[in-house]
Amino acid sequence: MKPKILQKKYPKFVYQNYSYGISKNNLEILFDFKLEPNIHFQPNIRVKNCPKLNLRQLDNLIFHLGLIEMISYWKATCAPLIEVRAGKLNPEQVKWWQTLIRKGMGQFFFENKISFQKPFIKTLGKHLAKPGLVKLKNRILVPIGGGKDSIVSWELLKKAKKDIACFNLNPKQTILVMKRTGCKKSIIIERRFDKKLLELNRKGFLNGHTPFSAYLAFLSVLLAVIFNYKYIAFSNERSSNEGNVKYLGRIINHQWSKSFEFEKMFREYSKKYLVRDIKYFSFSRPLYELQITKLFSRYPKYFPVFLSCNEAYKTYSGTRKPSKAWCGKCPKCLFVFTGLYPFIEEKKLIKIFGKNLFNDKGLIPLMEELVGERGFKPFECVGTKKESLAAFYLARRSFERRWVKKPILLKYFEEKILPKYPNLEKESKKMINSWNDQHNLPKEMKGY
């Protein structure tokens, strides 16, 4: 369906209300959204095994969690007006949320061929949010996903003997990774989408990428207060700062809500409007994705269970079950395979992915996109174009030590791409040993 038709038919999105309470030691949260004139959504969230809580202390945090949750439903039509009746925002906050929507939804606007939407946000709530004054323990909360980045953060912090706990959203997808971490203090959250959204997607309403890491940021602050953790250590690397493509005069970045720009924005907003005492940062920020990949190669116990292929989790609006396996055909699979190749035995790598991706001629166009020789960098959580060049160079150099026939992709790289970049030896070495000073690591957590 065309965006203009949807916006005319559904001109207003309303964040009507939210409610919450304790049931069997779980915090149950329900949001109430309306797409006027006649579509209602009621997604819900469950935080399991909560300690005794001062529920009033959570009110502002849950209101804000609803603000980031609503984007997944607003996107169905990109209604030109967002009306917030559940609470009140001042002009500075309204501007902040408009920026988040404009930048965080950039890929969505690009893929749906619509102009940047800066919806008019009108707030009708009575109570203006104030930051909470909560004394929290010097402990670290670490989000754990299915990929290698959060695994590396966890292992390094564990080795440093920090007081850490992990949290996981919808752990059915990543339960095996959680078990391998040995995390003794695990926090589990279940997020349930309203099925009506999937029905709309199947009918042709707008669908696409949302700033998921921004959602996790707001969720993590709520969890830190509930479970008493002062530090929140995400695993967003410096590679996420690079955009993908220019659209209508702006740079689109698939990983914008992982970027240092968003991290700074959120830290300021959190201190002013959420909880002053919480320290949100990215533990991996000083490193490139390629460096994290090298570190990950030291932890073979995770090789059989880690999984960061997005195709593995897709349900295509509920029309099929997720495969929960590396697809071997997407840019993410190719980048991870290439990044690991110089640091892991080929047999072990093939066991992870099910095949040698370098023998797949059909992946040549994806390789060219990754290194900047075709189109634009894929909309995936992959390294920078320079990193991809370095990864293929290191993979090719690693292969030179094996007296067997060179696979198709490495041969193509050697003949068609490598001659254009004569300094890759020097640049690769520099990248592997690089450290970025643009980060928010607490002093006591540097150097791990």
What is the model's pLDDT at position 316? 75
**Most confident region among 1-5, 50-54, 256-260 by mean pLDDT:** 256-260
Structure confidence by residue, pLDDT tens digits, 36-53: 999 999 999 999 999 998
What value does the mean pLDDT take over residues 5-24?
96
Cα separation, 302 vs 312, in Å, equals 17
Nearest one of 192, 205, 200 to 78, comparing CA atoms: 205
Percent of the chain with pLDDT over 90: 83
Q: If pLDDT is split at 50, 70 and 90, which confidence band does 125 have? A: confident
Mean confidence (pLDDT) of the chain = 93
What is the model's pLDDT at position 118? 66
Structure confidence by residue, pLDDT tens digits, 100-124: 999 999 999 999 998 876 678 998 8
357 in Cβ contact with 351 (< 8 Å): no
**In this structure, what is the dihedral angle of CA atoms 144, 148, 151, 152, given to the nearest 10 degrees?**
-140
Task: Out of 125-129, 271-275, 304-308, 396-400, pick the least confident.
Answer: 125-129
What value does the mean pLDDT take over residues 388-402?
88
Q: If pLDDT is split at 50, 70 and 90, which confidence band does 173 have? A: low
pLDDT(445) > 90: no
What is the model's pLDDT at position 404? 65
Task: Show me where the domains of the chain are located.
Answer: 3-282, 304-432
pLDDT(261) > 70: yes
What value does the mean pLDDT take over residues 310-339?
88
What value does the mean pLDDT take over residues 234-242?
97
For residue 323, give both structure tokens: 């495969």
What value does the mean pLDDT take over residues 47-64?
93
Structure confidence by residue, pLDDT tens digits, 182-228: 998 899 999 999 999 999 999 999 999 999 999 999 999 999 999 99
pTM, entire model? 0.96
What value does the mean pLDDT take over residues 292-313?
94
What is the model's pLDDT at position 133? 73
Percent of the chain with pLDDT over 70: 97
What is the model's pLDDT at position 128? 65
Q: If pLDDT is split at 50, 70 and 90, which confidence band does 447 have? A: low
pLDDT(309) > 60: yes
Structure confidence by residue, pLDDT tens digits, 63-109: 999 999 999 999 999 999 999 999 999 999 999 999 999 999 999 99
What is the model's pLDDT at position 174? 81
What value does the mean pLDDT take over residues 134-152?
94
Q: Does 261 or 3 have the greater pLDDT score?
A: 261
What is the model's pLDDT at position 312? 84
pLDDT(134) > 90: no
What value does the mean pLDDT take over residues 339-360?
96
